[in-house]
Structure 1
Amino acid sequence: MHTPDPAPGPAHPLRVAVVGTGNIARYHVEALQALSGDAVVVAAADVNPDALAVFTDRYGIPERFTDLDRMLGEVRPDLVHLCTPPGLHHGQALACLRAGVNALVEKPPALSLAELEDMAAAEGPQGPYVATLFQHRFGSGARRVRALVESGGLGRPLLAVCHTLWFRDQAYFDVPWRGRWDTEGGGPTMGHGIHQMDLLLALLGDWTEVSATARRQARVMETEDLSLAHVAFANGAVASVVNSVLSPREESYIRLDFERATVELRHLYGYGDSDWTLTPAPGFEEAAAAAWAAGESGVASGHHAQIAQVLAALRAKEPPPVTTADALRTLRLVAGLYASAAQRRTVTPAELRRGSRYYDRMHGGGTPWQSR
């Protein structure tokens, strides 16, 4: 999980534009404006001119557009933040790349493996690039745990738990583009739990097989409203993964049981150092505590942490994190979970290549979920 360390601000900050002015866009703009020595927001685009006017006035953004291609042609930013619904990401990212502009895409980066590989193929060897916003990788707690996995400081990882237990009522899914395969690419597995699953993969590395179930348990929608999975990893660890939008007591939870300690993370939408806990195994109290204390600290997860790294990478002319290769590993696990649930069998990454039913569409062309 290497990321470049943020460098001092350049003489000329990177010129950034934001596409989509809904709720998530404010996190991007506020992070960018906090990094004002490194970036300046020069334009915003949205098909809703009223929402666009309110957004640009609020944040003092000088240029506004209702057409992405026109914005790319007239403004030619260095980086575009795509804060639009998932069904628009593929076409908008390709438009940016064709214009020679880097793109940072909100999760999920695309509706399918086919779309994301198409985006990856359109990148240049020295850019432009596409990065995905998976900010939970960038808090110091995650970087500390990854370093311990790589060094073996807590022994081998043996068992993991990865739960995204959130609550969304029926009104949330009554919004026309939500809970649909053609606009969101899936339910909570794709649109909610993907953050925690990406963090799990960033910590444990490549996955080797998944066995899952998915159901439409309570909400009226096309997609699942919960999923459960068993995931095996190349390093020998196994994990339990649950994704739900039916859980009144909401929690995002990661647990890693190593040979010498248990590491836990409890939060909801973002974490700080205090949200991580270490429980040493008997006989390893001093060694585990010393290994934990030696790690990074002081950085909360969030848009600011990742965007700082994206800007640093672009200034260094390197691929910005999270790369399309990283995002593909995570999206392939999502596809594997759906494929396993639909076919009621174990699925491996090698099966989810071009030609697979689940490569082009997460639901494989059917509507397989059981309802209660």
Structure 2
Amino acid sequence: MTGRDERIRVAVVGTGGIATGSHLPTIQAHRDRVELVAAVDVDPGRVAQFCARADITAGYTDVDEMLAAQRPDLVHVCTPPAEHIGQLESVLAAGSWAWVEKPPCRTLAEFDRITAAEQASGAYAAVVFQHRFGSAGMHAADLIAAGELGRPLLAQCTTTWYRPPAYFTVPWRGSWASEGGGPTMGHGIHQMDLLLTLLGPWEEVTALAGRLDRDVETEDVSLALVRFTNGALASVTNSILSPREESYLRIDLSDATVELTHLYGYRDSDWTYTAAPHVPEQRRQRWRTPTPDVPSSHAAQFPLLLAALRAGTRPPASGAGVRSTLELVTALYQSALTGRSVRRTELVPQNPFYHALHGDTVGWAPARSNA
């Protein structure tokens, strides 16, 4: 591993839009601590364009070849979801850490393979769950954990986005095999992860899902009711059919209502606190988010990942905390596709939904080949 006075050697795997638009600027903003040494893409032309833009010369079309030649400390995995598990296992086996785009994998079975790879290598895989790390989100989490806002009672978690039919002409979108699931897995997972960060562990899910308008294998909308360990109840909506797009989170506690309204990322001003009538003004003043205003973004999470890498400690947004979010997603699919409530304790290897989010459910699972 790189010494404390040396820059961390970083590689990027997958050089599409998210790598170019989010990961590269984040890396470049930390040039004093990070050196981008290589990029990988199955498309030689695309990786060449990325390398030219990033001002590097080491472009590859094979992950294992790059790992052997460059031995990076950290690899940003920005490929489609179906590619993640194999690439993460290779990265971790090489002793490199990974930072992978959401969803980190398609199933709990794959996530447990990531955990086994971590244990075998001593390296870690963190997930891009940047909504946890904006200054206002972290402040809200601290207030709730400290009991400053009272007891959590009721929540709404809404991801109502719009993706036109043309969005699904990209070959890997809209199928169970390539994405793992629909907007519940690929879009709403960010807001649901933030909900769990604020409210803690959950116990039971009752859900519905529909394939209402888009020509896809997966759902295009889902609705769920969630019971948390602390007794709070939440409604969750995920959609890619909504012309007026919004990401919305509301938590009603015994002393305050906390609301967040944004789209793909928030600032401090997107959060509001409404006090219950009995709360004195002096206490309300403590709810204000301290400066500076750090938007939820890759740039907000990245320094925390680098600090953990330097210290050799498990980074935030990895391990059990990420698995809890994937468990919620899995239970939502199981409930929606079986028509019954699902408890977290059911999500074991004997459960078909542990291995595929469609759970081999007739009418939702892909048709089996007779070959």
Query: What TM-score results when the alignment is normalised by the length of structure 1?
Result: 0.94
Q: 2:245 aligns with which of 241, 250, 256?
A: 250
The Cα of 1:127 is off from its aligned counterpart by 2.3
The answer for the alignment partner of 2:228 in structure 1 is 233
**Contact kept? 1:93, 1:103, Cα under 8 Å:** yes
Q: Paired residue for 2:117?
A: 122
Q: Does 1:162 align with 2:157?
A: yes
- Distance in 2 (CA, whole Å) between partners of 1:270 and 1:337 is 24
For 1:205, the aligned partner's letter is: G
RMSD, aligned α-carbons: 1.6
The residue that corresponds to 1:4 in the other structure is none
User: Which secondary structure does the structure 2 equivalent of 1:242 belong to?
Assistant: strand
Q: Deviations over 1:299-345 (max 9, x none)?
A: 11000111111011000111112112111100010000000001111
- 2:6 is paired with a residue whose SS is coil
Partner of 2:361: 366
CA shift at 1:289, angstroms?
Answer: 1.9
Q: Is the 8 A contact 1:335 1:358 kept in 2?
A: yes
What is the percent sequence identity of the aligned residues?
54
Check whether the contact 1:167–1:246 (CA below 8 A) recurs between aligned residues.
yes
1:13 corresponds in structure 2 to 7
Within 2, Cα distance between the matches of 1:270 and 1:45? 27
Q: Aligned pair 1:75/2:60, yes or no? A: no
1:245 deviates by: 0.1
The count of residues paired between Structure 1 and Structure 2 equals: 362
Amino acid at match of 2:216: M
Between 1:151-160 and 1:121-130, the stretch displaced more is 121-130
CA deviations 1:199-238 (Å, max 9, x no partner) are: 1011111011000000001111000000000001111111
SS at match of 2:118: coil
Q: Deviations over 1:94-139 (max 9, x none)?
A: 0011111111110000010000011111113882111111000000
SS state of the match for residue 165, structure 1? strand
1:30 to 16, 25, 28: 25
Mapping 1:118-197, distance limit 5 Å: 118-124=113-119, 127-197=122-192
- Write the deviation string for residues 181-207 of structure 1: whole angstroms up to 9, x where unpaired: 000000000000000000101111101
- Cα displacement string for residues 33-87 of structure 1 (whole angstroms, at most 9, x for unaligned residues): 1011121111000000111111110111231101100000000000100000000
Q: Which amino acid aligns with 1:80?
A: V
Residues in 1 aligned to 2:292 and 2:223: alpha-carbon distance in whole angstroms: 32
2:323 counterpart residue number: 328
* In structure 1, distance between residues paired with 2:283 and 2:362: 47
**CA 1:126–1:154 in 2, change beyond 3 Å: closer, same or farther?**
farther
Deviation, structure 1 residue 297 = 4.8
Superposed counterparts of 1:187-336, under 5 Å: 187-293=182-288, 297-336=292-331
**5+ long unaligned stretches in structure 1:** 1-8
The 1:30/1:222 distance shift into structure 2, 3 A limit, reads: same
Work out the CA distance in 2 between the residues paired with 1:242 and 1:284: 31
Q: For 1:88 and 1:339, locate their aligned partners in 2 and report how far apart those are by CA, in whole Å.
A: 24
CA–CA separation in structure 1 for the residues paired with 2:357 and 2:291: 37
Q: Select which of 335, 342, 345 maps to 1:340.
A: 335
Secondary structure, counterpart of 1:25 in structure 2? helix
What code does the residue aligned with 1:324 have?
A: G
The answer to whether the 8 A contact 1:250-1:268 is kept is: yes
Q: Secondary structure at the match of 2:209?
A: strand
C-alpha distance in structure 1 between counterparts of 2:230 and 2:327, whole Å: 18
Q: Distance in 1 between matches of 2:264 and 2:156?
A: 17
CA contact (8 A) 1:170 1:220 kept: yes
Q: In terms of mean alpha carbon deviation, does 361-370 or 216-225 score higher?
A: 361-370
TM-superposed CA distance for 1:283, in Å, is 2.3
Q: Following the alignment from structure 1 to structure 2, what is the Cα–Cα distance between the partners of residues 297 and 235?
A: 31
CA separation of 1:66/1:294 partners in 2, compared to 1, >3 Å: closer, same or farther?
Answer: closer
Residues 135 and 367 (structure 1), Cα distance of their counterparts in 2 relative to 1, 3 Å cut: farther
Distance 2:244 2:40 in 1: 37
Paired amino acid for 2:19: A
1:122 partner SS: helix
> Per the alignment, in what secondary structure is the counterpart of residue 354 of structure 1?
coil
* Cα separation, partners in 2 of 1:153 and 1:125, compared to 1, 3 Å: farther
TM-superposed deviation, 1:241: 0.2
Aligned residue identity for 1:217: L
**Code of the aligned partner of 1:72:** L
Which whole-Å CA distance do the structure 2 matches of 1:250 and 1:369 have between them? 27
Q: Distance in 1 between matches of 2:149 and 2:57?
A: 51
**Which stretches in structure 2 are left out of the alignment for 5+ residues?**
366-371
> Which AA in structure 2 matches 1:83?
C
Q: 1:287 to 1:215 in 2, by over 3 A?
A: farther
Query: In 1, distance between residues paired with 2:362 and 2:28?
Result: 43
Secondary structure of the structure 2 residue equivalent to 1:158 = strand
